[in-house]
Every structure is written in structure tokens, then in C-alpha cells.
């Protein structure tokens, strides 16, 4: 029985060392590099960070919003009503984002999307169809990057 386990250990060691040699080959390294560079979208790191702003609210003073964009193309968004005793805890959502034609699209885990036009250290919330919001004051929908 001991001999069987020794042979099994030796076989595993041999397979592992062969696998390691193959991983060091130029062909393997080139293929691995191609997979790594094509599987992750290119992201401008200046976009990564936290953006905050306040949007109008019909039943409270305002909605305080924080949007956190991460390097791995995921986001978290937190909203909290200002001076509303009925909503003491913030609402938090998360998902992934993509950028197309200077428009940031946040898609939550349920498949719902929100669009923002990207500016220098700002995000301007857009309508559901990606157009500018039809409102008297679009400045109420600007989120500013925190440094």
C-alpha cells in the first residue's frame, strides 16, 4: 500500500513539473499574454473613483448619491434621502459598467441600466434612452469626482 502511494506521489510530481515547464515555454507565455490583454476591457484609470451629487426629491430635501467606479469595470451606487426620517438607511446597488462614445452605462444585477455623459471629473445623468434629461436644470444631475 505504501508503494502505491509513493508511485502516485511520484506520478503527480512528474506531471506537475512537466506542466510547469510547458507554462514557461515562449508559446505558452505568448498565448497567456494574449488572453490577458483581450479578456479585460481597457479602462482609463482617471475614470476610477467616487462621484457624488444630490438629485431632486419630491418628498425630501434631496437624494444624496455616491457612485464608485472600480478598475475591474464594476460599480457600487449608494443613495440616501436627505432629511427624510422614513428612510434612515441608504439604498445600495451594484453591477458592471461599459463605456461607449463618451457615455458610461451602469447595469445593475437585475439588468436595469442608467446612463451618464462623461466629462472631466464629472458624470451627467442622462435619460433612459441616452439623451440629455428633459429638465429645467440639468446641473441637478451632475456628479463630481472626489479627490
- 100 and 55 in a common domain: yes
For 30-60, what is each residue's pLDDT tens digit?
444 443 333 344 466 688 999 999 999 888 8
Is position 44 within any domain?
no
- 114 and 54 in a common domain: yes
- Rounded to an integer, the average pLDDT of 92-105 is 95
Is position 71 within any domain?
yes
- Give yes or no for a contact between 138 and 124, defined as CB atoms under 8 angstroms apart: yes
Domain that holds residue 6: 2-39
- 93 and 58 in a common domain: yes
- Angle, CA 122 vertex, CA 113 and CA 73 arms, to 5°: 45
* pTM score, whole prediction: 0.67
Amino acid at each position: 500500500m505504501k508503494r502505491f502511494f509513493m508511485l502516485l506521489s511520484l506520478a503527480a510530481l512528474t506531471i506537475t513539473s512537466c506542466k510547469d515547464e510547458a507554462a514557461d515555454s515562449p508559446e505558452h507565455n505568448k498565448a497567456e499574454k494574449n488572453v490577458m490583454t483581450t479578456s479585460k476591457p481597457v479602462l482609463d484609470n482617471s475614470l476610477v473613483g467616487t462621484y457624488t451629487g444630490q438629485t431632486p426629491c419630491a418628498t425630501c430635501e434631496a437624494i444624496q448619491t455616491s457612485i464608485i467606479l472600480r478598475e475591474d469595470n464594476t460599480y457600487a451606487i449608494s443613495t440616501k434621502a436627505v432629511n427624510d426620517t422614513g428612510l434612515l438607511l441608504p439604498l445600495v446597488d451594484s453591477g458592471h459598467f461599459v463605456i461607449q462614445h463618451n457615455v458610461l452605462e451602469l447595469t445593475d444585477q437585475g439588468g436595469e441600466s442608467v446612463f451618464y455623459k462623461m466629462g472631466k471629473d464629472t458624470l451627467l445623468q442622462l435619460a433612459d434612452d441616452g439623451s440629455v434629461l428633459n429638465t429645467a436644470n440639468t446641473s441637478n444631475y451632475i456628479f463630481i469626482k472626489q479627490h
